[in-house]
Amino acid sequence: MAGRVVVIGLGPGDPSLLGVAALDAVARIPVRYLRTARHPSAAAVGDAATFDHVYDSAASLEEVYGAIVEALVVAAAASGEVLYAVPGSPLVAERTVELLRRDPRVAAEILPALSFLDLAWARLGIDPLATGVRLVDGHRFVTEAAGQRGPLLVAQCDTRNVLSDIKLALPDGGPELVVLQRLGTDDEAVRVVSRDDLDRVIDADHLTSVWIPALAAPVGAELAAFDELVHTLRQRCPWDREQTHRSLGRHLLEETYEVLDAIDGLGPDLEGAEHLEEELGDVLFQVFFHAVLGEEHGAFTLADVTRGVHDKLVRRHPHVFGDIQADTPGQVAANWDEIKEREKGRSSVMDGIPAHLPALVYALKVQRRAASVGFDWSDAEGAWPKVPEEVAELRAAIDSVPGSNGGPVAGGDPGVADELGDVLFAVVNVARHLGVDPEGALRTATAKFRARFAGVEQLAGEREQELRALSLAQLDGLWDEVKVAERQRP
Protein backbone atom coordinates (compact mmCIF):
# COMPACT_ATOMS: atom_id res chain seq x y z
CA MET A 1 0.00 0.00 0.00
CA ALA A 2 1.33 3.43 -0.96
CA GLY A 3 2.32 5.87 1.74
CA ARG A 4 0.35 9.06 2.25
CA VAL A 5 1.53 12.69 2.17
CA VAL A 6 -0.81 15.29 3.63
CA VAL A 7 0.10 18.69 2.23
CA ILE A 8 -0.82 21.86 4.08
CA GLY A 9 -0.18 25.48 3.22
CA LEU A 10 1.41 27.89 5.69
CA GLY A 11 -0.46 30.83 4.20
CA PRO A 12 1.09 34.10 3.07
CA GLY A 13 2.73 35.10 6.34
CA ASP A 14 1.08 35.59 9.72
CA PRO A 15 0.40 32.33 11.65
CA SER A 16 -3.10 33.66 12.48
CA LEU A 17 -3.99 33.11 8.82
CA LEU A 18 -3.46 29.32 9.06
CA GLY A 19 -6.62 27.27 8.51
CA VAL A 20 -8.21 24.98 11.11
CA ALA A 21 -7.75 21.90 8.89
CA ALA A 22 -4.03 22.60 8.62
CA LEU A 23 -3.63 22.95 12.39
CA ASP A 24 -5.59 19.73 12.96
CA ALA A 25 -3.27 17.90 10.54
CA VAL A 26 -0.21 19.22 12.40
CA ALA A 27 -1.65 17.96 15.71
CA ARG A 28 -2.54 14.54 14.26
CA ILE A 29 0.56 13.65 12.20
CA PRO A 30 3.84 13.32 14.11
CA VAL A 31 6.20 12.95 11.13
CA ARG A 32 6.42 16.43 9.61
CA TYR A 33 8.43 18.15 6.92
CA LEU A 34 8.83 21.79 5.93
CA ARG A 35 9.82 22.68 2.39
CA THR A 36 11.65 25.59 4.00
CA ALA A 37 11.92 26.93 7.53
CA ARG A 38 12.36 30.41 6.09
CA HIS A 39 8.70 31.37 6.47
CA PRO A 40 6.93 33.40 9.20
CA SER A 41 4.49 30.54 9.98
CA ALA A 42 7.04 27.72 10.00
CA ALA A 43 7.12 27.59 13.80
CA ALA A 44 3.42 26.60 13.86
CA VAL A 45 4.37 23.18 12.45
CA GLY A 46 6.41 22.39 15.56
CA ASP A 47 9.09 19.70 15.41
CA ALA A 48 9.73 19.18 11.70
CA ALA A 49 12.58 18.39 9.31
CA THR A 50 13.28 20.90 6.56
CA PHE A 51 14.61 20.69 3.04
CA ASP A 52 16.66 23.88 3.24
CA HIS A 53 19.85 21.83 2.95
CA VAL A 54 18.70 20.54 -0.45
CA TYR A 55 18.50 24.09 -1.78
CA ASP A 56 22.08 24.68 -0.65
CA SER A 57 23.51 21.57 -2.33
CA ALA A 58 21.49 21.09 -5.54
CA ALA A 59 22.58 22.52 -8.90
CA SER A 60 19.13 23.62 -10.07
CA LEU A 61 15.63 24.20 -8.71
CA GLU A 62 14.27 21.26 -10.69
CA GLU A 63 16.86 19.07 -8.96
CA VAL A 64 15.72 20.48 -5.60
CA TYR A 65 12.08 19.66 -6.30
CA GLY A 66 12.89 16.13 -7.44
CA ALA A 67 14.99 15.45 -4.34
CA ILE A 68 12.22 16.71 -2.03
CA VAL A 69 9.59 14.50 -3.65
CA GLU A 70 11.87 11.47 -3.50
CA ALA A 71 12.52 12.04 0.20
CA LEU A 72 8.79 12.41 0.93
CA VAL A 73 7.94 9.22 -0.97
CA VAL A 74 10.52 7.26 1.04
CA ALA A 75 9.35 8.78 4.35
CA ALA A 76 5.67 8.09 3.59
CA ALA A 77 6.44 4.47 2.73
CA ALA A 78 8.30 4.06 6.04
CA SER A 79 5.81 5.87 8.30
CA GLY A 80 2.56 5.32 6.46
CA GLU A 81 1.66 9.01 6.64
CA VAL A 82 3.69 12.23 6.76
CA LEU A 83 2.84 15.92 6.80
CA TYR A 84 4.39 18.28 4.30
CA ALA A 85 4.05 22.05 4.85
CA VAL A 86 4.69 24.54 2.06
CA PRO A 87 4.63 28.35 1.98
CA GLY A 88 1.37 29.97 0.87
CA SER A 89 -1.15 27.65 -0.76
CA PRO A 90 -0.22 24.14 -1.94
CA LEU A 91 -2.15 24.82 -5.13
CA VAL A 92 -0.41 28.06 -6.16
CA ALA A 93 3.06 28.02 -7.76
CA GLU A 94 4.12 24.94 -5.79
CA ARG A 95 6.13 22.66 -8.08
CA THR A 96 6.78 19.96 -5.47
CA VAL A 97 3.05 19.47 -4.97
CA GLU A 98 2.55 19.12 -8.73
CA LEU A 99 5.17 16.37 -8.78
CA LEU A 100 3.71 14.62 -5.72
CA ARG A 101 0.24 14.49 -7.25
CA ARG A 102 1.65 12.84 -10.39
CA ASP A 103 3.80 10.29 -8.55
CA PRO A 104 2.07 6.84 -8.53
CA ARG A 105 4.16 5.68 -5.54
CA VAL A 106 2.40 7.95 -3.07
CA ALA A 107 -1.10 9.21 -2.24
CA ALA A 108 -1.23 12.99 -1.84
CA GLU A 109 -3.98 14.74 0.12
CA ILE A 110 -4.06 18.51 -0.42
CA LEU A 111 -5.57 20.80 2.24
CA PRO A 112 -6.36 24.21 0.65
CA ALA A 113 -4.93 27.31 2.31
CA LEU A 114 -4.99 31.06 2.04
CA SER A 115 -2.61 32.19 -0.73
CA PHE A 116 -0.51 35.31 -1.00
CA LEU A 117 -2.67 36.01 -4.06
CA ASP A 118 -5.68 36.76 -1.88
CA LEU A 119 -3.73 39.41 -0.01
CA ALA A 120 -2.20 40.72 -3.23
CA TRP A 121 -5.62 41.36 -4.77
CA ALA A 122 -6.66 43.14 -1.58
CA ARG A 123 -3.57 45.37 -1.50
CA LEU A 124 -3.85 46.17 -5.21
CA GLY A 125 -7.58 46.75 -4.97
CA ILE A 126 -8.43 44.66 -8.02
CA ASP A 127 -10.72 41.81 -9.02
CA PRO A 128 -8.39 39.34 -10.80
CA LEU A 129 -11.26 37.81 -12.77
CA ALA A 130 -12.53 41.15 -14.03
CA THR A 131 -9.06 42.42 -14.98
CA GLY A 132 -7.85 39.16 -16.56
CA VAL A 133 -4.63 38.92 -14.54
CA ARG A 134 -1.98 36.39 -15.62
CA LEU A 135 0.15 34.86 -12.83
CA VAL A 136 3.80 34.34 -13.86
CA ASP A 137 6.76 32.72 -12.12
CA GLY A 138 9.59 35.25 -11.81
CA HIS A 139 12.20 32.59 -12.61
CA ARG A 140 10.47 31.90 -15.93
CA PHE A 141 9.24 35.40 -16.65
CA VAL A 142 11.12 35.92 -19.91
CA THR A 143 9.47 32.84 -21.42
CA GLU A 144 6.10 32.73 -19.67
CA ALA A 145 5.40 36.43 -20.24
CA ALA A 146 6.56 36.36 -23.86
CA GLY A 147 3.89 37.89 -26.09
CA GLN A 148 1.77 39.09 -23.13
CA ARG A 149 0.53 42.66 -22.72
CA GLY A 150 -0.57 42.36 -19.09
CA PRO A 151 -1.75 42.78 -16.49
CA LEU A 152 0.74 40.40 -14.85
CA LEU A 153 1.47 39.43 -11.27
CA VAL A 154 5.00 38.05 -11.12
CA ALA A 155 5.59 35.78 -8.12
CA GLN A 156 8.73 34.27 -6.58
CA CYS A 157 10.94 37.25 -7.37
CA ASP A 158 13.40 36.06 -4.76
CA THR A 159 16.74 37.40 -6.06
CA ARG A 160 18.10 40.55 -7.65
CA ASN A 161 18.95 38.53 -10.77
CA VAL A 162 15.28 37.63 -11.18
CA LEU A 163 14.35 41.31 -10.88
CA SER A 164 17.04 42.16 -13.45
CA ASP A 165 15.66 39.61 -15.90
CA ILE A 166 12.18 41.07 -15.52
CA LYS A 167 13.51 44.59 -16.00
CA LEU A 168 15.39 43.60 -19.15
CA ALA A 169 12.29 42.01 -20.65
CA LEU A 170 10.15 45.09 -20.03
CA PRO A 171 10.15 47.90 -22.62
CA ASP A 172 11.44 51.37 -21.75
CA GLY A 173 8.91 53.97 -20.71
CA GLY A 174 6.34 51.50 -19.41
CA PRO A 175 3.99 52.06 -16.47
CA GLU A 176 5.16 52.15 -12.87
CA LEU A 177 5.38 48.79 -11.13
CA VAL A 178 4.09 47.77 -7.72
CA VAL A 179 6.35 45.59 -5.58
CA LEU A 180 4.59 43.57 -2.87
CA GLN A 181 6.73 42.04 -0.12
CA ARG A 182 6.03 39.87 2.91
CA LEU A 183 2.25 40.29 2.69
CA GLY A 184 0.39 39.34 5.87
CA THR A 185 3.40 39.90 8.16
CA ASP A 186 4.43 42.73 10.45
CA ASP A 187 7.16 43.55 7.89
CA GLU A 188 4.76 43.92 4.95
CA ALA A 189 5.78 46.45 2.27
CA VAL A 190 4.03 47.72 -0.86
CA ARG A 191 6.11 50.07 -3.03
CA VAL A 192 5.63 51.78 -6.38
CA VAL A 193 8.85 51.80 -8.44
CA SER A 194 9.92 52.59 -11.99
CA ARG A 195 11.18 49.91 -14.36
CA ASP A 196 14.74 51.26 -14.15
CA ASP A 197 14.76 51.11 -10.33
CA LEU A 198 13.32 47.60 -10.03
CA ASP A 199 16.66 45.84 -9.41
CA ARG A 200 18.31 48.86 -7.82
CA VAL A 201 16.11 49.81 -4.85
CA ILE A 202 14.34 46.54 -4.08
CA ASP A 203 15.96 44.06 -1.67
CA ALA A 204 14.43 40.86 -3.07
CA ASP A 205 13.41 37.94 -0.86
CA HIS A 206 11.30 34.79 -1.19
CA LEU A 207 8.12 36.75 -0.35
CA THR A 208 8.49 39.33 -3.14
CA SER A 209 6.07 39.77 -6.06
CA VAL A 210 5.80 42.40 -8.80
CA TRP A 211 2.57 43.80 -10.26
CA ILE A 212 2.80 44.91 -13.89
CA PRO A 213 -0.45 46.66 -14.89
CA ALA A 214 0.23 46.73 -18.64
CA LEU A 215 2.97 46.32 -21.23
CA ALA A 216 3.42 48.69 -24.14
CA ALA A 217 4.71 45.85 -26.31
CA PRO A 218 4.97 42.07 -25.94
CA VAL A 219 8.10 40.61 -24.41
CA GLY A 220 10.38 39.08 -27.06
CA ALA A 221 9.36 35.43 -27.12
CA GLU A 222 12.09 34.10 -29.41
CA LEU A 223 15.04 35.65 -27.58
CA ALA A 224 13.62 34.63 -24.22
CA ALA A 225 13.18 31.04 -25.35
CA PHE A 226 16.69 31.02 -26.81
CA ASP A 227 18.19 32.26 -23.55
CA GLU A 228 16.43 29.45 -21.71
CA LEU A 229 17.72 26.92 -24.27
CA VAL A 230 21.35 28.05 -23.80
CA HIS A 231 20.99 27.71 -20.01
CA THR A 232 19.59 24.20 -20.48
CA LEU A 233 22.45 23.17 -22.76
CA ARG A 234 24.97 24.49 -20.25
CA GLN A 235 23.38 22.40 -17.49
CA ARG A 236 22.73 19.16 -19.37
CA CYS A 237 25.17 18.81 -22.30
CA PRO A 238 28.61 17.37 -21.37
CA TRP A 239 30.37 19.41 -24.09
CA ASP A 240 28.70 22.68 -23.15
CA ARG A 241 29.40 22.13 -19.45
CA GLU A 242 33.16 21.99 -20.13
CA GLN A 243 33.42 25.25 -22.06
CA THR A 244 35.04 28.46 -20.84
CA HIS A 245 35.35 31.94 -22.31
CA ARG A 246 38.78 31.00 -23.68
CA SER A 247 37.78 27.63 -25.12
CA LEU A 248 34.89 29.29 -26.95
CA GLY A 249 37.13 31.97 -28.47
CA ARG A 250 38.07 30.04 -31.60
CA HIS A 251 34.46 29.02 -32.17
CA LEU A 252 33.37 32.66 -32.12
CA LEU A 253 36.09 33.48 -34.64
CA GLU A 254 35.10 30.58 -36.90
CA GLU A 255 31.41 31.47 -36.77
CA THR A 256 32.24 35.10 -37.59
CA TYR A 257 34.18 34.06 -40.68
CA GLU A 258 31.28 31.84 -41.73
CA VAL A 259 29.02 34.90 -41.53
CA LEU A 260 31.44 36.72 -43.83
CA ASP A 261 31.33 33.81 -46.26
CA ALA A 262 27.53 33.92 -46.23
CA ILE A 263 27.59 37.67 -46.91
CA ASP A 264 29.97 37.15 -49.83
CA GLY A 265 27.58 34.54 -51.18
CA LEU A 266 24.55 36.86 -51.27
CA GLY A 267 23.04 37.50 -54.69
CA PRO A 268 21.91 40.92 -55.98
CA ASP A 269 18.37 40.29 -54.74
CA LEU A 270 19.54 38.68 -51.49
CA GLU A 271 19.61 35.17 -52.90
CA GLY A 272 21.22 32.99 -50.24
CA ALA A 273 19.81 35.07 -47.37
CA GLU A 274 18.71 31.88 -45.58
CA HIS A 275 22.39 30.89 -45.28
CA LEU A 276 23.23 34.27 -43.75
CA GLU A 277 20.29 33.91 -41.37
CA GLU A 278 21.61 30.55 -40.22
CA GLU A 279 25.17 31.79 -39.68
CA LEU A 280 24.00 34.87 -37.78
CA GLY A 281 22.13 32.50 -35.47
CA ASP A 282 25.37 30.63 -34.80
CA VAL A 283 27.09 33.90 -33.81
CA LEU A 284 24.12 34.81 -31.60
CA PHE A 285 24.52 31.47 -29.83
CA GLN A 286 28.12 32.37 -29.02
CA VAL A 287 27.04 35.73 -27.56
CA PHE A 288 24.35 34.11 -25.40
CA PHE A 289 26.80 31.37 -24.30
CA HIS A 290 29.39 33.92 -23.11
CA ALA A 291 26.61 35.76 -21.24
CA VAL A 292 25.60 32.53 -19.46
CA LEU A 293 29.23 31.93 -18.42
CA GLY A 294 29.45 35.49 -17.13
CA GLU A 295 26.24 34.99 -15.16
CA GLU A 296 27.54 31.78 -13.56
CA HIS A 297 30.58 33.63 -12.18
CA GLY A 298 28.58 36.66 -11.04
CA ALA A 299 30.45 38.89 -13.50
CA PHE A 300 27.63 39.94 -15.85
CA THR A 301 24.36 38.69 -17.30
CA LEU A 302 22.67 38.90 -20.67
CA ALA A 303 20.74 41.82 -19.20
CA ASP A 304 24.00 43.62 -18.44
CA VAL A 305 25.37 42.94 -21.93
CA THR A 306 22.21 44.16 -23.64
CA ARG A 307 21.77 47.18 -21.41
CA GLY A 308 25.43 48.11 -21.75
CA VAL A 309 25.50 48.09 -25.55
CA HIS A 310 22.11 49.84 -25.68
CA ASP A 311 23.30 52.69 -23.47
CA LYS A 312 26.65 52.89 -25.31
CA LEU A 313 24.96 53.20 -28.70
CA VAL A 314 22.71 55.97 -27.38
CA ARG A 315 25.73 57.86 -26.00
CA ARG A 316 27.71 57.46 -29.20
CA HIS A 317 24.89 58.61 -31.47
CA PRO A 318 24.33 62.16 -30.17
CA HIS A 319 23.29 63.17 -33.72
CA VAL A 320 20.32 60.79 -33.32
CA PHE A 321 19.50 61.07 -29.61
CA GLY A 322 20.98 64.50 -28.85
CA ASP A 323 21.62 67.87 -30.43
CA ILE A 324 24.93 67.17 -32.22
CA GLN A 325 25.01 67.73 -35.98
CA ALA A 326 26.52 64.99 -38.19
CA ASP A 327 25.50 64.90 -41.85
CA THR A 328 28.10 62.50 -43.27
CA PRO A 329 29.43 59.05 -42.30
CA GLY A 330 32.85 60.65 -41.75
CA GLN A 331 31.45 63.08 -39.20
CA VAL A 332 29.65 60.25 -37.44
CA ALA A 333 32.88 58.23 -37.24
CA ALA A 334 34.83 61.22 -35.93
CA ASN A 335 32.22 61.89 -33.23
CA TRP A 336 32.27 58.20 -32.29
CA ASP A 337 36.05 58.16 -31.84
CA GLU A 338 36.01 61.38 -29.81
CA ILE A 339 33.27 60.11 -27.47
CA LYS A 340 35.04 56.77 -27.11
CA GLU A 341 38.30 58.48 -26.15
CA ARG A 342 36.51 60.47 -23.44
CA GLU A 343 34.73 57.38 -22.09
CA LYS A 344 37.86 55.25 -21.94
CA GLY A 345 40.14 58.01 -20.67
CA ARG A 346 42.67 57.29 -23.40
CA SER A 347 45.82 59.30 -23.85
CA SER A 348 46.35 58.33 -27.51
CA VAL A 349 43.94 58.10 -30.42
CA MET A 350 45.50 54.70 -31.14
CA ASP A 351 44.60 53.24 -27.73
CA GLY A 352 42.03 50.47 -27.81
CA ILE A 353 42.75 49.08 -31.29
CA PRO A 354 43.15 45.30 -30.83
CA ALA A 355 46.64 44.32 -32.01
CA HIS A 356 45.48 40.84 -33.04
CA LEU A 357 43.00 41.97 -35.66
CA PRO A 358 43.50 40.58 -39.19
CA ALA A 359 46.36 42.64 -40.66
CA LEU A 360 44.34 44.48 -43.31
CA VAL A 361 41.63 45.43 -40.82
CA TYR A 362 44.31 46.48 -38.31
CA ALA A 363 45.95 48.77 -40.89
CA LEU A 364 42.59 50.24 -41.85
CA LYS A 365 41.64 51.05 -38.25
CA VAL A 366 45.03 52.64 -37.51
CA GLN A 367 44.75 54.83 -40.63
CA ARG A 368 41.23 55.88 -39.71
CA ARG A 369 42.34 56.90 -36.21
CA ALA A 370 45.16 59.00 -37.67
CA ALA A 371 42.74 60.56 -40.16
CA SER A 372 40.37 61.51 -37.29
CA VAL A 373 42.92 64.11 -36.13
CA GLY A 374 43.74 65.36 -39.66
CA PHE A 375 46.81 63.22 -40.39
CA ASP A 376 45.67 62.13 -43.85
CA TRP A 377 45.53 62.92 -47.54
CA SER A 378 42.39 64.60 -48.75
CA ASP A 379 41.57 61.93 -51.35
CA ALA A 380 42.84 58.86 -53.22
CA GLU A 381 44.89 61.00 -55.60
CA GLY A 382 47.02 62.09 -52.67
CA ALA A 383 47.42 58.56 -51.34
CA TRP A 384 48.12 56.85 -54.70
CA PRO A 385 51.73 58.03 -55.32
CA LYS A 386 52.84 56.22 -52.16
CA VAL A 387 52.03 52.85 -53.79
CA PRO A 388 54.58 53.00 -56.67
CA GLU A 389 57.02 54.71 -54.31
CA GLU A 390 56.80 51.82 -51.84
CA VAL A 391 56.93 49.26 -54.67
CA ALA A 392 60.18 50.83 -55.90
CA GLU A 393 61.64 50.64 -52.39
CA LEU A 394 60.61 46.99 -52.18
CA ARG A 395 62.31 46.29 -55.52
CA ALA A 396 65.48 47.96 -54.29
CA ALA A 397 65.42 45.96 -51.06
CA ILE A 398 65.07 42.70 -52.99
CA ASP A 399 67.92 43.59 -55.34
CA SER A 400 70.16 44.42 -52.40
CA VAL A 401 70.01 40.88 -51.02
CA PRO A 402 73.09 39.00 -52.33
CA GLY A 403 72.33 35.94 -54.49
CA SER A 404 68.56 36.04 -54.01
CA ASN A 405 67.48 36.87 -57.57
CA GLY A 406 64.06 37.62 -56.08
CA GLY A 407 63.80 34.11 -54.62
CA PRO A 408 63.18 32.74 -51.09
CA VAL A 409 66.44 34.16 -49.76
CA ALA A 410 65.07 37.67 -50.23
CA GLY A 411 61.90 36.72 -48.42
CA GLY A 412 63.91 35.94 -45.30
CA ASP A 413 65.50 39.38 -45.23
CA PRO A 414 63.91 41.70 -42.62
CA GLY A 415 64.39 44.70 -44.90
CA VAL A 416 62.38 43.04 -47.69
CA ALA A 417 59.59 42.07 -45.29
CA ASP A 418 59.55 45.64 -43.95
CA GLU A 419 59.24 47.19 -47.43
CA LEU A 420 56.57 44.66 -48.46
CA GLY A 421 54.58 45.70 -45.39
CA ASP A 422 54.86 49.34 -46.49
CA VAL A 423 53.47 48.40 -49.92
CA LEU A 424 50.47 46.68 -48.37
CA PHE A 425 49.93 49.57 -45.95
CA ALA A 426 49.96 52.05 -48.86
CA VAL A 427 47.45 49.93 -50.81
CA VAL A 428 45.15 49.85 -47.78
CA ASN A 429 45.35 53.64 -47.63
CA VAL A 430 44.26 53.95 -51.26
CA ALA A 431 41.44 51.48 -50.65
CA ARG A 432 40.24 53.53 -47.69
CA HIS A 433 40.07 56.70 -49.75
CA LEU A 434 38.24 54.86 -52.51
CA GLY A 435 35.67 53.62 -50.00
CA VAL A 436 36.71 50.00 -50.59
CA ASP A 437 37.06 47.54 -47.72
CA PRO A 438 40.53 46.03 -48.33
CA GLU A 439 39.73 42.89 -46.33
CA GLY A 440 36.60 42.30 -48.41
CA ALA A 441 38.36 43.15 -51.67
CA LEU A 442 41.17 40.67 -50.98
CA ARG A 443 38.65 38.06 -49.88
CA THR A 444 36.71 38.52 -53.13
CA ALA A 445 39.89 38.37 -55.23
CA THR A 446 40.96 35.18 -53.44
CA ALA A 447 37.55 33.60 -53.94
CA LYS A 448 37.71 34.50 -57.63
CA PHE A 449 41.18 32.94 -57.94
CA ARG A 450 39.97 29.84 -56.12
CA ALA A 451 36.97 29.46 -58.44
CA ARG A 452 39.13 29.90 -61.56
CA PHE A 453 41.68 27.40 -60.28
CA ALA A 454 38.85 24.92 -59.73
CA GLY A 455 37.96 25.54 -63.39
CA VAL A 456 41.54 24.74 -64.41
CA GLU A 457 41.36 21.48 -62.42
CA GLN A 458 38.08 20.59 -64.11
CA LEU A 459 39.45 21.23 -67.62
CA ALA A 460 42.58 19.18 -66.89
CA GLY A 461 40.44 16.35 -65.57
CA GLU A 462 38.16 16.37 -68.61
CA ARG A 463 41.27 16.07 -70.81
CA GLU A 464 42.80 13.40 -68.59
CA GLN A 465 45.80 15.60 -67.85
CA GLU A 466 47.76 15.31 -64.63
CA LEU A 467 47.82 18.84 -63.20
CA ARG A 468 51.29 18.54 -61.64
CA ALA A 469 52.74 17.28 -64.93
CA LEU A 470 51.66 20.37 -66.89
CA SER A 471 54.09 23.19 -67.61
CA LEU A 472 53.41 26.74 -66.48
CA ALA A 473 52.61 27.69 -70.08
CA GLN A 474 50.03 24.89 -70.29
CA LEU A 475 48.49 25.92 -66.97
CA ASP A 476 48.32 29.54 -68.19
CA GLY A 477 46.51 28.32 -71.27
CA LEU A 478 43.89 26.52 -69.19
CA TRP A 479 43.58 29.62 -67.01
CA ASP A 480 42.87 31.78 -70.07
CA GLU A 481 40.21 29.32 -71.23
CA VAL A 482 38.48 29.56 -67.86
CA LYS A 483 38.50 33.37 -68.03
CA VAL A 484 37.04 33.33 -71.54
CA ALA A 485 34.30 30.96 -70.38
CA GLU A 486 33.57 33.33 -67.50
CA ARG A 487 33.05 36.29 -69.86
CA GLN A 488 30.74 34.24 -72.06
CA ARG A 489 28.43 33.28 -69.19
CA PRO A 490 25.30 35.46 -68.97
In DSSP terms, 210 is beta-bridged to 154, 179
On whether both 9 and 97 belong to a single domain, the answer is yes
- The pLDDT assigned to 434 comes to 92
Residue 27: per-residue pLDDT: 94
The pLDDT value recorded for residue 440 is 84
pLDDT of residue 113: 87
Reading the chain (490 residues) residue by residue, the pLDDT tens digits are 578 999 999 888 778 888 899 999 999 999 999 998 888 888 899 999 999 888 888 777 788 899 999 999 999 999 999 999 998 889 887 889 999 999 999 999 999 888 888 899 999 999 998 888 989 888 888 777 776 777 999 988 988 888 988 888 787 767 789 999 988 888 899 999 998 888 888 888 888 999 998 876 555 667 778 888 999 999 999 999 999 999 998 899 899 989 988 988 888 888 889 999 999 999 999 999 999 999 999 899 888 898 889 888 988 899 888 888 888 887 888 787 778 777 777 667 787 788 878 888 888 888 888 887 788 888 889 899 999 999 999 999 888 887 767 667 666 778 888 999 999 999 999 999 999 989 888 888 888 899 899 999 999 888 888 888 889 999 899 989 888 888 887 6
- Buried/exposed code over 103-112 (b: 16+ C-beta within 10 A; e: otherwise): beebbbebbe
Task: Say whether both 214 and 230 belong to one domain.
Answer: no
Residue 157, domain CATH: 3.30.950.10
pLDDT at position 352: 77
368 domain-assigned: yes
Say yes or no: 190 and 109 in one domain.
no
- Number of domains the chain contains: 5
Q: What does DSSP say about strands 177-181 and 208-212: parallel, antiparallel, or unpaired?
A: antiparallel
Is 343 inside a domain boundary?
A: no
| Integer Cα distance of 291 and 230 in angstroms | 10
- The CATH number linked to 233 is 1.10.287.1080
pLDDT for the residue 221: 63
Report which residue type is found at 34.
L
| Nearest partner of 207 among 8, 61, 10, 6, judged by Cα | 10
Question: Is the same domain home to 446 and 370?
Answer: no
Shared-domain flag, residues 376 and 418: yes
Where helices occur in 194-323 by DSSP H, the ranges are: 198-201, 221-236, 238-242, 245-264, 273-296, 302-315, 318-321
pLDDT of residue 38: 84
Within a domain: 289: yes
Query: Domain range holding 364?
Result: 348-436
How far apart CA 11 and CA 114 sit, in angstroms, is 5
User: DSSP characters for 347-413?
Assistant: SSTTTT--TTS-HHHHHHHHHHHHHHTT-S-SSHHHHTTHHHHHHHHHHHHHHTSTT-TTSHHHHT-
Among 219, 254, 271, identify where a domain stops.
Answer: 219
Q: What is the pLDDT of residue 276?
A: 94
In a domain, 320, yes or no: no
Q: What is the pTM of this model?
A: 0.50
The last residue of one of the domains, among 114, 145, 176, is 114
Element (H, E) at 177: strand 177-181
